[in-house]
Amino acid sequence: MAVMLPSLWRFNLARIVVVDVTDDYRTMQPPLPTDWYPVLTEVWVRPVDLDRRLAELNLVEGYLYDWHQTPEVEGEPWYVGVVSRGLLSGSAAQG
């Protein structure tokens, strides 16, 4: 008889932790360690072509994709840095 692993869903989903990196641009400081940024949300998505698709995903309304960090160990979360759209539109209006 076949037995299904209780955590089989982990092979079909990737955990993404979305962090707000807007202050890096507001203060023009070097990047902080990933776990120092405020977490906006956590989402689960299909891992197929995730490296390529991350910039296209709308993970948090009002924020734009900036960068991502691929996990070193399979099963660990991906980190995605996003920037407030308001900061970008505000700087465009001033310049």
Residues 10-51 have pLDDT tens digits of: 668 899 999 999 999 999 989 899 989 999 999 999 888 888
Query: Is the pLDDT confidence value at 77 over 50?
Result: yes
- The percentage of the chain sitting over the pLDDT mark of 90, rounded to a whole number, equals 52
The chain-wide mean pLDDT, for the chain, equals 85
Q: Which of 35, 39, 45 is nearest to 15 (CA)?
A: 45
Strand partners, 93: none
Q: How far apart are CA 74 and CA 58, in angstroms?
A: 23
9: helix, strand or coil: helix
Strands in 63-69's sheet, in edge-to-edge order, are: 39-45, 14-20, 78-84, 63-69
More confident call, 87 vs 23: 23
Query: What is the reported pLDDT for 88?
Result: 74
